[in-house]
Chain A
């Protein structure tokens, strides 16, 4: 018997993803549908009798109106019109037992398509807790299809459904009865009629949700709670991650030395040690921050708080034409723009999504920190301003704010020009609060970590190798007066670039460092170390580099260099991610061009202003 092909379908907040996770466990694949950016989740479930069932998890939708890509893909898959996804043999339509009046409409709409359907009456435990009672047999009778109650977050809660899926495709029958009028209003009316018939007890609004919301959505306490939570999250990302990050750095340094001990001095050793290990290590060092950030985001999402965060941020986001939901991807971008850009998949509207992707790199990611730290330590005196705040801290904060303010301006300009279009409704359900299930949180976390690691193993690895070669060849002549890198291809490019960068006050050393800095921003620091021919480990380089730079650069150059790093897309991996997620060279080109343009313009202004002020 061949594996049964089933598709999970349901509205947002029906608990469909939890059901998918519980059914398939770790046997799942997350990818994109070819050519578009709708996430395709599929997996295999093995029934207790040992049969395989192939399950595809369709995007969460309220209807099949083809208004969004999600709706379009779902319709194509279900009707067998999709080019790469085979038509499922049975649909499992997931509905939330606390909200059947709304969710039944989709069931009825699906019924008109004629495929066998099983209804999973999900979150049955939560509905019972709130006093909601549904006559399941009656519901099944009215719909003309089997209905099973499920509790998606527990494996015991999906037993009956799993058992039911353990049969040959021919064993499933089409739903009984017909749906003639499929207009939204007619379907809604029918859903309402059935809901009235099968509801034994209506239940009440979830008490805990009501109590928590009276704080979380309070006009004063709400934002306060929200910003406190953000502050705590940033603290966690930057302080908790410190120790494991040092550990990873030390680990890669150790690995480099081990390799050096076994491979004789030469090109091959340099390739392994400086190209491979150092290159991949420079990106993997951000893994702890990414894990902590995603852990926070996933827990907030699973608990139901994220929808409240969108509620609180909506008015501010609306001012630049964006939706409250665009807030989460931008938040992720403070750790790294790559997961941030991937998280824009939750934004249904294409124009809003493009705008969000375009401004994500302006959020100060953690790769900028080593650069900021170095230059602030070297050039900003450790004074206090207003008697309390450290000047260095104020400059640091200013750099963050410069990124955020610029993002707001760019978004507003984009929404008024190239991404101009109809407003998007904010309409969303605020789900009940619930305790996150840690098994599910960790499964989701692992998927994201895996995606990040896969990139570090591919694109970032290639970039690191290419840059290694560029900085090594051609070799420097004997007894050369300058550092080796001066004579390499990277050096040549840097020296050529210097003509362009001269108005910004950048010397040839800086111009050269910017080239390997394309792999990852913080590589610019070690590149500067190379150019100024410093020896020692990274910390020593950074420390002595600060002293060297103080005498080598005027303040105006240092400030212009900081300004450059606020804007410049100095990260090939981000551009590669933008290319994949926008699926367009045009958008990727636009992002690269506008960021470099802004970087150049602002650095230029900073340079001449600082010079004028100091003169």
Chain B
């Protein structure tokens, strides 16, 4: 079963394997989501750790990549495919 960034719990770590923007309902939104994710710092092969989640429905998420912290919505995190935890 494929795992996505949105599935992780606080404190979980994993490696980014790729992107699947077709998982986002809004196709227009999905169109340049991959580019946007890449631009802000999500990239294949990088280790990611979930640091915090919002109070309502665990949304949005704050994740650590290298030495930076990034915030994104669950819906956006659902498009990030994870590999085996490193």
Contact = CB atoms under 8 A, between A and B. Distances in A.
Contacts of B39: 62-63, 102, 105, 184, 188
B32 A67 contact: yes
A98 to B, nearest CB: 5
A213 B70 contact: no
Contacts of A499: none
Interface in B39-86: 39-41, 43, 51-57, 59-60, 62, 64, 66-73, 75-76
A170 interface: no
A554 interface: no
A206 interface: yes
A425 B43 CA distance: 17
A400 to B, nearest CB: 23
Contact of B71 (A102, A219, A427): A427
A145 to B, nearest CB: 21
A188 B43 contact: yes
B26 A422 contact: yes
Contact of A425 (B33, B41, B59): B33
A234 B1 CA distance: 50
A209 interface: yes
Nearest to B53: A219
B71 A426 contact: yes
Nearest to B42: A427
B67 A429 contact: no
A205 interface: yes
Contact of B69 (A223, A421, A429): A429
Main secondary structure of the interface of B (DSSP, over half): mixed
Contacts of B28: 421-422
A311 interface: yes
Interface string A414-450: 0000000111011111100000000000000000000
B38 A213 contact: no
Contact of A185 (B38, B57, B76): B38
Contact of A315 (B43, B59, B67): B59
Contacts of B68: 98-99, 102, 429
A101 B40 CA distance: 10
Nearest to A185: B38
B37 interface: yes
A192 interface: yes
A318 interface: yes
A214 B10 CA distance: 11
A65 B39 CA distance: 11
Interface of B: 26, 28-29, 32-33, 35-41, 43, 51-57, 59-60, 62, 64, 66-73, 75-76
The 8 closest A-B pairs by CB, nearest first: A217-B52, A430-B69, A219-B55, A62-B39, A422-B28, A102-B41, A315-B56, A426-B73
